[in-house]
Amino acid sequence: MKALIIDDEKKARQVLHVLIEENCPKITQVFEATDLLSGVELIKKETPNIVFLDIEMPEHSGLEILNFIEKEVYDFEIIFTTAYSEYAIKAFQLSAIDYLLKPVRPSQVMEAVDKAINFLGNSQINKRLTELKSSIQDSNFKKIGLPNANGIKFVNFTDIILLEADGMYTNVSTINDGTILVSKPLKFFVDILQGIQIFYRPHRSHFINLSYIKEYIKKDGGYIIMENDKTVSISNDKKEEFLTIVQNIG
């Protein structure tokens, strides 16, 4: 398996190169490029499986890679390396694209490479990068990428009915695509969607879209029925807060 590092900082390339060699035995060759255009040439020549791509480089940002590669060459997985702000990190997470925060740690590299290997062959990287660029340019996040058995499904926030914990997975119920089993725990979604007001967590196992509440039933301790007829429990310590929220949106 081959990897390519594209970064204009020599020290950053050297550190990452060593970390890959020491922690990722499945990667047997590592190439380096000092800018995006020379990196694109190496992609065409060496066909790496994984590309470690810095975002902030002179002349061309790493996000512009789609402008220089034909669609038929999109058979690799990208791991961005960045010192970006929390805002941009949220964009990565919503687009289901992995990233390494500088300074890079060995555990980060191992985890990111393992994820990338799992995506290979079904990465839909062009679609995910398009969504990432859109998210970074638009302060109003609108979509989230849901990794599933078939690849990545991009869903509008407004099309999500509820999210339900299933061990280390999450069942995401949607209006148009049914229920999608996603290989991330519920906490991941709570962390990145908590700033979006339509979502609320009435119970540790559920994260719901308030727009799709069909009914609130007082008996049996109180529970919610969603538009898709799924029932959602309400924690005792959340009942008063939930009823206040529902009255305000009603």
- Statement to judge: residues 28 and 112 lie in one domain: yes
Q: pLDDT below 50 — which residues of the chain?
A: none
CATH of the domain at 94: 3.40.50.2300
- Statement to judge: residues 128 and 163 lie in one domain: no
- Chain segment 48-76, per-residue pLDDT in tens: 999 999 988 888 888 888 788 876 667 78
- Statement to judge: residues 36 and 91 lie in one domain: yes
- Statement to judge: residues 124 and 200 lie in one domain: no
Q: Is 239 left (phi over 0), alpha (psi -120 to 50) or beta?
A: alpha
Question: CA–CA separation, 39 vs 2, rounded Å?
Answer: 14
Whether 214 is in a domain gets the answer yes
Domain count, the chain: 2
Domain that includes residue 212, residue range: 159-249
Whether 146 is in a domain gets the answer no
- Statement to judge: residues 116 and 172 lie in one domain: no
- Chain segment 9-55, per-residue pLDDT in tens: 999 999 999 999 999 999 999 999 999 999 999 999 999 999 999 98
Collapsing DSSP to helix, strand or coil, 30 comes out as strand
- Statement to judge: residues 48 and 132 lie in one domain: yes
pLDDT at position 102 is 84
- Statement to judge: residues 114 and 20 lie in one domain: yes
pLDDT at position 250 is 53
- Statement to judge: residues 65 and 117 lie in one domain: yes
Whether 142 is in a domain gets the answer no
Whether 150 is in a domain gets the answer no
Contact of 224 with 202, CB cutoff 8 Å: yes
- Statement to judge: residues 114 and 11 lie in one domain: yes
- Statement to judge: residues 14 and 57 lie in one domain: yes
Whether 243 is in a domain gets the answer yes
Q: Residue 85 is encoded by which pair of tokens?
A: 């702000």
- Statement to judge: residues 9 and 129 lie in one domain: yes
Whether 236 is in a domain gets the answer yes
Q: Measure Cα distances from 64 to 59, 69, 96, 101 in Å.
A: 10, 10, 18, 19
- Statement to judge: residues 13 and 122 lie in one domain: yes
Give the largest Cα separation in the chain, rounded: 66
CATH of the domain at 179: 2.40.50.1020
**Average pLDDT over all residues of the chain:** 87
Whether 104 is in a domain gets the answer yes
Whether 143 is in a domain gets the answer no
pLDDT at position 220 is 81
Q: List, in sequence order, every residue forming a beta bridge with 77; answer none if it has no partner.
A: 50
